[in-house]
Structure 1
Amino acid sequence: MRHLRTLLAGVLVALLAFGAWRAWYPPAGQDQADKGASEGYAGLGTAAEGYAEARPGGRLAFPADHGPHPDFRIEWWYLTANLTDAAGRPFGIQWTLFRQALAPPGTLDEGADSPWTTRQLWMAHAAVSTPTGHRYAERFARGMAVPDARGQAGVTAAPFAAWLDDWRLAATDGADTGLDHLDVSAGGDDFGYRLRLDAEGPLAIHGDHGFSRKSADGQGSIYYSQPFYRVAGTLTVDGDPVAVSGRAWLDREWSSQLLGPDQSGWDWFSLHFDDGAKLMAFRLRGAGEAGGDYLSGSWIAADGTVTPLDDDALRLTPLSRTSVAGRELPTAWRVEVPGHDLAVTVQAIQPDQWMGTAFAYWEGMVSVTPVDATSPSARHGVGYLEMTGY
């Protein structure tokens, strides 16, 4: 009977989680027009009354901001890594923990007498891309309202740790209050990984001291990254271990209204160049000036200096599309930052890096090649591309 109760409780939690996340993301393939323009992609354009708001003029505070911000509606800890084995073959991994608030602060009694009384739900995604395939898995969990109890999922700032079950991203020695040295592990039925991350540069603070504007209307998020990780460890695919090394990028972002009401999704790039520079860039489709797309990004020099890029300083142009999971996705792009003499082609290393999770999207490793290989400023590189709302 005890095992039956445990199973039923698990099913209930999964259903509650699924229902809440369906309110955030529409089912794959659902016509956005049927949901109404006010909802936008992923429900992230809906009004957010009662939640904390991301605003310009603030300042990030570490290590506290490495931890959760429960009064904001949505938040994530998002790690991607470009890796190679001893033969130079490309591999990629993703580790992501999402937090979703179900109700604004003060609308639920979150007393410690009931661990079920919580506003927070958690979702985690893990993936491995190989030269021949793409594997992924996802998990859901409910927050716990019991003080000093380690729930099924959560994040602590000092020492830093983020987890859902045994999927874990945490300070290597269990005491580091920053993000400089982390271990990450996760896996599914047919894949897994254990990697060590060591930062070789500073955090990159995006936008206006961390406020990243997401539309011409002015709403946005708080956003920073650690793009300077060196990585080493082991991937396991179908029971076969592979030693890998490479570079990784960790994004931290939280908001209560990430998109404008007319925006349908985004195309987001994190690129590592061979001269040590980095580029974060995104295109939010719709709700720019005169109804166009909204572009923004950051140029991150090899020494960590961040230069914000507005719409006029950045060009993201789809070049070709591939049919993936019944959708036509732009898997080749031209990316230009004229102020830094950058003109490159960004190409999916493997087009079918589809995350066919409950809330589907494309996330995968890309190669970076110069448009003009003879230019003195020609850059090569690797990175990750995320595409949502297609």
Structure 2
Amino acid sequence: MTMLRPTLIDAVDGLAANPAVDADSWWLSARLHDHEKVFWVKIHAMEMNGACLSTVALLREPDGHTCGKHAIEVEDSVTVSADSLDVKTSVLSLSGDLDGLEMSGASDTASIRLGLRREGRPVLYNGGAGVFPFFGGTTGQYALPGLTTSGTITVDGTTHQVGGRTWFDRQWVSGATEVPRFTWLGLDLGAGRYLSVWDAGRDGTSWLTELKPDGSHLITQARRTDRDGHWALSVPSLDASLDITHRELFATQGAYTGACQVTGTLAGEDIAGHGFTDVIGY
């Protein structure tokens, strides 16, 4: 049974661009596979300061092939609709609704075309209400984690039929007076369990939102520590001890996105999962 609670945002209406905010972001990362090959994908569009920043990135395992493309374009040269989800830049496109999304992107050596389906999975509202303080201002943030994903990835002329799961994160920011510096983790622990973890002080002191399969949320404290190039995340109220390794998926000056593997224990049970991290202002 889904637990009902007040939220301060509307996930359906919140998909489209909001002209009243200072920064508007649509962020998607996926772990996909074609037999033994694993593809980590990032597709991200963000409007701020009169410009649109868009990123397409790909990491292929086990060979470690990477490629990516990053574009900064004036708002007048891209499509970002305030009526529905419709984002088109020179390197990516994103459209759809809360139940189904279509996304595509291209770098110099790869092209990506994917369909994403929610299939009744609940929405993750960060902080439970979907709005929380953010570097002197406020941010709205919700996620559609674990979207069932299928499509094609073409790398160096070879097309792969892929399937897997995508984490879609929708966020906007208003009134921030400080330069953001944070580490964020989106963790897919399997069986419909997801964690969205924020370390806004960059000292390991974290808070997280847990989404359970029935749609209920838990907001609690966590502690992230560095251990020889990977992270240990401790969540006492979940009886969780997680080890998180991460590989670079895409990086620009002051911003890093990593693909994560997760092992450890949760509520006394061994778990293995995956996830993604954004580190801003490092």
Question: Does the alignment reach a TM-score above 0.5?
Answer: yes
Q: Distance in 2 between matches of 1:285 and 1:63?
A: 31
Q: Distance in 2 between matches of 1:303 and 1:130?
A: 33
Q: Distance in 1 between matches of 2:222 and 2:145?
A: 19
More helix by share: 1
Question: Deviation string for 1:113-155 (max 9, x for gaps)?
Answer: xxxxxxx3211111111111221101222223xxxxxx62313
Question: Deviation string for 1:278-330 (max 9, x for gaps)?
Answer: 011021235xxxxx665222101122222222xxx211112123xxxxxxxxx
One-letter amino acid matched to 2:80: G
**Shift in Å, 1:258:** 4.5
Question: Deviation string for 1:193-249 (max 9, x for gaps)?
Answer: 11110013022111252112346xx64311111113011111111222122111111
Question: Deviation string for 1:317-352 (max 9, x for gaps)?
Answer: 12123xxxxxxxxxx11112221222111112xx34
| 2:51 pairs with 1:121 | yes
Equivalent in the alignment of 1:233: 151
Equivalent residues of 2:248, 2:257 under 8 A apart: no
One-letter amino acid matched to 2:241: A
Counterparts of residues 135-174 of structure 1 (less than 5 Å)? 135-144=67-76, 152-158=78-84, 160-165=85-90, 167-171=92-96
Equivalent in the alignment of 2:188: 272
One-letter amino acid matched to 1:278: Y
One-letter amino acid matched to 1:152: V
TM-score relative to the length of structure 2: 0.88
Structure 2: runs of 5+ lacking an equivalent: 1-5
Larger Rg, first or second structure (1 or 2): 1
TM-score relative to the length of structure 1: 0.65
Equivalent in the alignment of 1:21: none
Structure 1: runs of 5+ lacking an equivalent: 1-56, 103-119, 145-150, 172-177, 287-291, 322-331
Identity of aligned residues (%): 21
More strand by share: 2
Question: Deviation string for 1:92-111 (max 9, x for gaps)?
Answer: 111111001x3xxxxxxxxx
| 2:104 pairs with 1:185 | yes
Question: Deviation string for 1:19-51 (max 9, x for gaps)?
Answer: xxxxxxxxxxxxxxxxxxxxxxxxxxxxxxxxx
Q: Distance in 2 between matches of 1:180 and 1:360?
A: 34
Q: Distance in 1 between matches of 2:233 and 2:132?
A: 20
Secondary structure of 1:71's aligned partner:
coil
Equivalent residues of 2:54, 2:91 under 8 A apart: no
Residue 293 to residue 336, structure 1, CA distance change in 2 (3 Å): closer
| 2:251 pairs with 1:334 | no
Equivalent residues of 1:195, 1:234 under 8 A apart: yes
Equivalent residues of 1:134, 1:352 under 8 A apart: no
